[in-house]
Structure 1
Amino acid sequence: MLALFVASWATPAQAAPATTPSADYVIIAGVPGLRWDDVDPQGTPTLWAMAERGSIASLSVQSAAQPTCPLDGWVTLGAGERATWSDGTGSGTAPTAGPQCPQIAVPVQRPDRIGAYLPSQRGVVRHNQEVEPYGAVPGALATSVRCTVAVGAGAAVAAARPYGRVDQYQPTLPANAEELLGTCVLGMVDLGTVSAADTATRQAEARRADELLARVLAARPANSLVIVAGLSDTDQSRRLHVVVADGPGWDGGWITSASTGRNGYLQLVDLAPTALAALGRTPPEGIFAGHPARSVPGRPAQLDVAVAQPADADREAGAQRRITTWFFGLLAGFQFLLGVAVVPLLRRARLPASTLGSPSPRFGFAGLVRRAGPAPPPHSAPPRLVAVVEVLLVAAALAIPAALVADAVPWWRSAHPAPLFGAVTVLLLAAGTAAVRFSPAYRRTLGPLAMVAAIAAAVVALDVVTGARLQLNGVAGYSTLTGGRYAGLGRVGLGVFAAGVLLVAGCLAQRVRRPWRPYVVGIVGGLGVLLAGSPYLGADAVGAIALTAGVGIAAVISTGGWLTFARLAWATLAGLAVTAGFAALDLSRPDAEQDRLGRFLTALGDGTGGRAVQRAAASSVGALDSPLTVLAIVGAVLVWFALLRPWGGLKRLFGIYPAIRASMAGIATAAVIGGVLGGSGLDVAGAVAALTVPMAALAALRVLHHASDRTQPPVVPLSVPVPAVAGDEPRDQRHEQGGGVRLAAEVLPWNPVDGAINP
């Protein structure tokens, strides 16, 4: 497996990115609030023409504040890292009374007619260094060049050096703009803000910014790169914004960077390293979080068709942000209610003592056998009710895969996106549940579990193989607004995929002889690790490490018994070997292409590892308000207080099917490691619980309800072997310590290898 893994990493995912075109001057024109639906050939003709000849993308404006208000965007631009504005007194830019960002007047002092001084800059630097977890250095971009010029108060915030000095400053664009913009190699221009809610006012604000942009382009120096960027949001509704680059080598393509890994997407923190790369400057080491942008081909020839794509992505991302919360909230509520309904069924499914045979005089209670064909206990649940609950458990487990597939339908373009998304998801969920319910394997004890796990793993795998387009801005995927991931395997996808792969591995391993079970788990799990960690598929080294740990734990205990020190040592060594391989291969790649693991190890090497740990911890804490946290808690409560009780059935399931117990132990391990190392809180665990807990409850119901369907075997001494079951080693009547549960001598009414119920 490790050889295949190394080969997959050695194979380049794509051609090496071309060197960023060089320029003598770089001008960054900021328009906070500008979105792609504000751009059209009539209202913004200058920007439209610039986009026709240049390269375009959607800009994610994530900063250290939520939402990113205009001053936060300008500070982040100058820092090259997520930052936020503060005057040093603790007051920031977040809306306090109403949805709109406050309009804050930045004091700009002009001791001479050349430059300017920002008295608040020292407080901004101190706040970002001491309070915020990102360790941003406002003014790092200005410090990296000899001279900067700024036009407007917002541009002064980005162009100010850490001690507050702006080299060249004008409050408005002067008549002799050519001379001003040619003074320094790096220029910042504040084109105004587009913040109105009504369409007419927004169009007027965008038109004024476009008119000022026309003057900037007319005065631009020769061989210059001009970047127009919608640097921030202006209210609580976080959106994607405009970014256009026009200059040598930026002709008619998409903009991308190594920090997004997807064509047509750029982060705000990428603008600073892009400017320095275009000027041929070396970015400050360990300061910038982004990577230089580049232009790639593939954009449609007609600009209106090309612009429709980022505008559509903005609508989808905005709708996804509104719908995700209620979708996972409803799912958590549904699974909680379903768990409440399952508890009495589990208790009533317990076979009463009256159906047991008499103790053997020789062997005592160890020789108990079931009486032939006992009638159902009078207090047992109605079979129809049990059947309905089982179907609902299947539907609950398939909810996230159904929501993922639902993003193949453009529901966000509807006037009522939430109802349409709900309708599509319900239809897909009904189809998936029906496919499981009417499958011939459904009557087997492990049949529903195996089918649901296979469907979930296949949905995520197919999405990743085809470019992860369903996860991108998907309700069950990741949002480009948060700046966490733009390609590959997301948090929810990782949880669903890890649970699906390990459950499938456990079901397959249960069908083979015990000595072969670790190999089956290793092979199936290894394929999952390859898909998760490959840089051109899942692109999630941390997720691959978490899944590797889960596969290792599952493999060593798949034959039954406890997790002994020797088994744990072997699993740990295997996990460390794969982790070391991931780390070595990630560090061997260029800095711009490294995953989170490589960046973290690099940070440890240059002494900034503490900041990296602080950011991961802050990210985990921030993720705790996710509805997935509720799913994780609901699942843990149901497992601990119901399924693992003596009447809950899960221990009995583990004793009969040790490979399933091993899979669930591996799933728990992967969920914890993935959440801790990935800085995602309980998001991975919530996705795992949404799939695993309902199926564990269903399987527990099956083993409890089928306990009464036994035939009368001959009473034989414990030393007399029972005929072997096909596909497994001979069994005898001795006690089997399968999963921490001591099984009495009994003949199972189903095949313990494949879970088929014998009539």
Structure 2
Amino acid sequence: MVAAVVAAATGSLQASAAPATKPPTSPTSPASPASPAGLLAKVVVIGVPGLTWGDVKASPELTALVDQSSVGSISVKTAGPHTCPIDGWLTIGAGTRAWGSDPNQPCGDLPAVSDGKVTGWQTYVDRQAEHHTGAPIGRLGQTGYPMCGFGPGAAVALARTDGSVSNWQPQFDQAKLASPECGDAIVDAGALPLREGRPEALQKVAELVKQVRAADGWVLLTGISQVTTNDHKQTLVVMQLPPDDGPRWLTSDSTRRPGLIQLTDITATILRGRTAATVDPAGPEKAGPLDGSEIRSTGDRHTSAAAVIDDRLDANQRFEQPRPVLFAVALTIVGAEVLALLWFLLRRSPLSRRVTIFTLLVQGGFFIAAFLAQATVWWRWPSPAFSLYAVTIGISVLSAVIAQVLLKKYAYFGLALAAYLLLLIDGVLGTPMQLGSLFADGPVIGGRFYGFGNSTFAALAVGGLVTAAWAAQKLYGKSRLQAAVAVLVIGGAAIIVDGKPGWGTDFGGLLALTPAVLLMAWLTWRDRLYLRVLIGAGVGVVLLVAGVSYLDYRRPPDQRTHFGTFFARVLDGDVSDVFIRKLQMAVQFFSGPAGWLMLLAVVFCMVATVWPDRVPSKAYRDFYSSHQMVRPTLLALSLCGLAGMLLNDAGIALPAIMLGFAVPLLVAHLLASHQPATVSPEPHLVQES
């Protein structure tokens, strides 16, 4: 059991789908287009590797631009583990996440242009194939629209698929930008110095913005990448000048969060208005779907640069802190469980039993606290990292106390029900508790910007299946059909919320949870499995997912979710790289002992589910046979975990996270249900349980 707890905690750290920090003004006004499609002015992207909101606060010139701009933060995550300047510029040129740098080397200088071609271009082409990114580097350069480039980064972004560059200059030229031969433009403002000279460099960036604005351009000043591989990753700065309808918050359909866009949105913003100019057969329309969407503005106007900057700095805290804090919280809870278990095994006293039960319930409460902590707005408190840690531990403990006081030995059900209802509400509301939570891959990681990620799905699956089992058990004695219907209703609600585009938007979760709910309902009704039933359930799941994907695919490209994008890739024959990347991500968990520990825990628990008589615990064997719904529930949980492991890039981590929720609740229930009548026989009972 300890192995399962430790494995689940480790899996939570490794598994990979905020609002983003809510801006000080609510995004209630209609979105106004902030893309070149409706503008006569040229679009000019000014890229500054390493430009942070701390830089804006430190620069009076950039601070003054805030009140003149629609602003936001930009996630610069690319395909590789680090986002060096070469990765950022290649990603803009491809419109999908590209891999440019060597992860074993520090960020280097950008390649030079020699004889009208980016030197070493084939190296970057080969790197996409090596890592199966599927990134069509050179997509932006293949358009026939006259685009100008200034600086080495612009050469990389505007290079054609063979690495050749035209209409490019190594230094910014204001006269060239204003000339008719220059349509849209990309300007590399250069990486900011790490220490000395940074204030002067920021002043030059502000001056560059003024020069570009003099050409009546639609300017997008944006961070492009981190500067070094050792940088503390954070979302960077993005500003749009002039604002379309007053200074507001930038967003896009790829993030669906006010104040947040991603790097690939820049390419989509340029190409959506210019694709009619494509002249090359390998141009953007032949290079597969874009990962990004058009940038637009939303929300009420902001009038205070200081408030905007403080909000963005708070947002960075919200995006940066969850992963390191998750590790600290997991160590605290698992450490407390291990100490309590050792005490219980050595003393076998009533007090040690109660303490052990409570620590197990605290771990169950953690799956509530991981999401509910967002309601405390911890990122605006002093010492945000410690605040998040304290809030998460506090809510975990409080959840365990409330469940134990109200439900006593059935506290496990209260925690499962609370997690189930909490995530249903969160999904229907558009997942406001996800981005920035301990269980979500936010913009720094580059995971989901909306919807449910793998860890969230694991919590929802356990909460939903346990809740369904409780309701079915209450109805079982009256009518097995009614009990099966209860499973379908409760489990079906979880399936709908998890899979509906715009709610959970969880492709893999839909594939994993649907057969589990159907299996549980069938065993509740008939108690036996038939081959034709299994085949029918499998076909039904495939048809359900295909139907949802097709309907999502019929929406405009900018409004599609993961379902529609995947369907488009299938039609284009562009899914092999996606499958290979997901397989690589699943396999990487076995690069260290944690992955193998998770695998052992998962295998042990699945064996206990299928062959309960082989488990050396009388309490578990009695529990397995004491209630009609135990077997269907445990089999459904095992099927859901197995399917999730095979169909998601989280791999073994997904069922391990499910175990991290389900196993402590089960053990706590077994210990609470087998309290000894007196102290004397307790060692014997404990040994058997």
The DSSP-based 3-state class of the residue aligned with 1:424 is: helix
Indicate the SS of the match to 2:234.
coil
Aligned-residue offset at 1:313: 1.3
CA contact (8 A) 1:137 1:287 kept: no
> How far off its partner does 1:641 sit?
8.1
2:323 to 321, 324, 334: 321
Deviates more, 1:572-581 or 1:147-156: 572-581
Measured against aligned partners, the alpha-carbon deviations of 1:521-570 in whole angstroms (never above 9, x if no partner) come to 00111111222223333232432332222211111112574434354345
Give the distance between the partners of 1:631 and 1:303, measured in 2 at CA: 50
Q: 1:194·1:205 contact (CA, 8 Å) conserved in 2?
A: yes
Change (3 A) 1:58 1:668: farther
Is 2:32–2:297's contact at 8 Å kept on the other side of the alignment? Answer: no
* Residue 500 in structure 1 maps to residue 463 in structure 2: yes
> Among 361, 364, 372, which residue is 1:394 paired with?
361
Equivalent position of 1:106 in the other structure: 111
| Equivalent in 189, 194, 197 of residue 191 of structure 1 | 189
Letter in 1 for 2:308: A
- 1:548-627 equivalences under 5 Å are 548-559=514-525, 561-569=527-535, 571-622=537-588
Residue pair 1:457, 1:497 contacting (<8 A) in 2 also:
yes
Aligned to 2:224: 231
User: Match of 1:284?
Assistant: 285
Q: Which runs of 5+ in 1 are unaligned?
A: 1-12, 86-91, 346-379, 709-759
Alpha-carbon distance in 1 for matches of 2:108, 2:416:
52
Aligned-partner Cα distance in 2 for 1:669–1:338: 31
Shift of 1:706: 7.7
Moved more, 254-263 or 503-512: 254-263
Q: 1:273 pairs with 263, 268, 282, which one?
A: 268
Structure 1 residue 705: Cα displacement: 5.4
Task: Please state if 1:662 is matched with 2:632.
Answer: yes
Q: Deviation digits for residues 599-620 of structure 1, max 9, x if unmatched?
A: 2222111111212212322333
Q: Distance in 1 between matches of 2:218 and 2:594?
A: 43
Q: How does 1:88-237 map to 2 (within 5 A)?
A: 92-94=101-103, 96=105, 101-109=106-114, 111=115, 116-128=116-128, 130-174=129-173, 176-179=175-178, 182-196=180-194, 198=195, 201-218=197-214, 220=215, 222=216, 224-235=217-228, 236=230, 237=232
Q: Is the 8 A contact 1:332 1:627 kept in 2?
A: no
Question: Are 1:262 and 2:257 matched, yes or no?
Answer: yes
Alignment correspondent of 1:409: 376
The answer for the alignment partner of 1:461 in structure 2 is 424
Alignment pair present for 1:535 and 2:501: yes
Are positions 1:432 and 2:399 aligned together? yes
* Residues in 2 aligned to 1:627 and 1:264: alpha-carbon distance in whole angstroms: 39
Matched, 1:81 2:62: no
1:70: which partner in 2?
Answer: 85
- CA–CA distance in 2 between the matches of 1:496 and 1:406? 15
Cα deviation digits, residues 6-25 of structure 1 (max 9, x gap): xxxxxxx9999969443342
Q: Hey, what's the Cα distance between the residues in 2 that align with 1:633 and 1:341?
A: 27
Equivalent-residue separation in structure 2 for 1:30 and 1:592 (angstroms): 24
CA distance in 2, matches of 1:529, 1:608: 27
SS of 2:273's partner is: helix
| Match of residue 367 from structure 1 | none
User: 1:632, 1:689 within 8 Å by CA — same for their partners in 2?
Assistant: no
For 1:755, the equivalent position in structure 2 comes to none
Q: Paired residue for 1:245, among 234, 240, 248?
A: 240
Distance between the aligned counterparts of 1:204 and 1:656, measured in 2? 74
Change (3 A) 1:339 1:679: farther
Whole-angstrom CA distance in 2 between matches of 1:415 and 1:634: 41
Looking at structure 2, the residues matched to 631 and 339 of structure 1 have their Cα atoms a distance apart, in angstroms, of: 19
2:441 match: 478
Q: Does 57-66 or 416-425 show the bigger shift?
A: 416-425
CA drift at 1:457? 1.5
1:600 alignment partner, SS class = helix
CA distance, structure 2, for counterparts of residue 548 and residue 707 of structure 1: 43
**In the alignment, residue 647 of structure 1 is paired with which amino acid?**
P
Q: Which runs of 5+ in 2 are unaligned?
A: 1-27, 279-283, 679-689
Counterpart code for 2:54: D
Q: Is the 8 A contact 2:337 2:359 kept in 1?
A: no
> Residues of 2 paired with 1:386 and 1:340: CA distance?
11
Q: 1:647 aligns with which of 616, 620, 629?
A: 616
What displacement does 1:205 show? 2.8
Q: Is the 8 A contact 2:495 2:514 kept in 1?
A: yes
CA contact (8 A) 1:78 1:158 kept: yes
SS of equivalent to 2:510: helix
Once the two structures are TM-superposed, the CA of residue 414 in structure 1 deviates from its matched residue by 5.1
Change (3 A) 1:635 1:301: farther
Any idea what the Cα deviations from partners look like across 1:60-115, whole Å, max 9, x if unmatched? 11112222011111111111111122xxxxxx34464xxxx433252222x4xxxx
Structure 1 residues 675 and 158 mapped into 2: Cα distance closer, same or farther (>3 Å)? same
2: CA distance between counterparts of 1:298 and 1:545?
Answer: 39
- Helix, strand or coil: the match of 2:153? helix
Question: Relative to structure 1, is the Cα distance of residues 22 and 62 closer, same or farther in structure 2, using a 3 angstrom cutoff?
Answer: same
Shift in alpha-carbon separation, 1:478–1:164, aligned structure 2, 3 A? closer
2: distance between equivalents of 1:457 and 1:260?
25
1:442 and 2:405 aligned: no
- The alignment of Structure 1 onto Structure 2 pairs a total of residues equal to 634
Shift of 1:127: 2.2
Equivalent AA in structure 2 for residue 22 of structure 1: G
CA distance in 2, matches of 1:381, 1:326: 29
Equivalent in the alignment of 1:88:
none
Partners of 2:499 and 2:608 in 1: CA distance? 35
Q: 1:581 to 1:18 in 2, by over 3 A?
A: farther
525-534 vs 612-621, greater mean Cα deviation: 612-621
Whether the aligned pair in 1 keeps the contact of 2:70 and 2:240 (CA below 8 Å) is: yes
Indicate which of 659, 666, 670 corresponds to 1:700.
Answer: 670
Structure 2 residue 69 is the aligned partner of structure 1 residue 54: yes
C-alpha separation in 1, matches of 2:174 and 2:586: 51
Larger relative contact order (C-alpha < 8 A, sep ≥ 6)?
Answer: 2
The alpha-carbon deviation at position 241 of structure 1 amounts to 0.7
Summarize deviations over 1:178-198 as a string: whole Å, max 9, x none: 445x422231111121252x5
Give distance in 2, aligned partners of 1:250 and 1:628. Answer: 52
Deviations 1:147-179 (A, max 9, x none): 332211122111222222221222222363444
In 2, the alpha carbon distance for the partners of 1:203 and 1:474 equals 34
Structure 1 residues 573 and 137 mapped into 2: Cα distance closer, same or farther (>3 Å)?
closer
Alpha carbons of structure 1 residues 244 and 586: separation in structure 2 relative to 1, 3 Å: same
Cα separation, 1, equivalents of 2:602 and 2:511: 23
Question: SS in structure 2 opposite 1:227?
Answer: strand
Larger Rg: 1
